[in-house]
Amino acid sequence: MLYKFYSCKIHNLDALANRYLWFSIPKKLNDPFDCDFEGYRNSKTLSSYSEKDKEEMYELFRKFGICSFTQNFTNQHFWSLYAENYSGFCLVFDKNMLERNFFRHGILSEKVDYKKTPFNLDEISDEIKKDFEGKYWSPKTEEAFRKVIFRKNKIFWGHENEVRAFLGKICIDNSKTGKNNVECGSKGYKVPFNKAVISEIILGQNISTHNKSVILNLVKHNYPHIKISQIELNHENWKLEIKEISK
């Protein structure tokens, strides 16, 4: 299973109601070093590029979309930060079904690679280096930059155990030509999903009565098949537990 945390802000309730996942462009992520391509301008691998070519390539990568999930719903950090002090909710996704949904749109997903240092672009294979010569984008150059996209600082973010979905050039081009139904925007992308990919929704302990009512109504009409649960605090051992809510 994969888990994604939400506050009860309007745009998140809209995503739940209309069955889509939001993919943010890199500069909208909460870590300024996440997907940071600026450190590669002086890379030997890019030495044959003019500044104009580099800027065209960076402009392309700035348009990529990122959507984050985790494999641990009991991490108190997530409930505090991403679900606004336990007042939001968590969606539980069937990992295999979600990946098939992504594949249809040309989206890849894999675990984040946590390291103490950024990815060294000059360490990529000679085969990929040759593909960089004279081209600012190709499937192989995108493969190299995926290593940048899936690398995060282990010290500060390793506890998140993130699985990341990556929306690249192929998906963006297909959305522009109508080959998929991904909706493009200046700040990110709306990627639709089949309702069957969600198996459960977990409400935070501090969710308001109003928001709980709104979500239960959405689930009743849009996701009648899923399980509804709510977080409870086990004060004896400082652990989070869940209790199923009757529909």
pLDDT score recorded for residue 179: 75
Predicted pLDDT at 79: 93
- pLDDT score for 104: 78
pLDDT at 137: 56
Output the pLDDT for position 236.
86
Among 180, 176, 182, CA closest to 65: 182
Look at residue 43 in the predicted model and tell me its pLDDT.
Answer: 75
Residue 141's pLDDT is 65
Q: Is the dihedral of CA 214, 220, 225, 227 positive or negative?
A: positive
Q: Give the whole-angstrom CA distance, residue 76 versus residue 173.
A: 38
CB 247 within 8 A of CB 228: yes
The token pair that represents 19 in the structure block: 């069955």
pLDDT attached to residue 21: 95
The average confidence (pLDDT) of the chain is: 85
Residue type, 128: I
User: What pLDDT score does 124 carry?
Assistant: 61
Q: Which residues of the chain have pLDDT under 70?
A: 123-143, 247
* Residue 231: per-residue pLDDT: 93
pLDDT of residue 168: 79
Task: Give the type of residue at 5.
Answer: F
Q: What is the pLDDT of residue 18?
A: 95
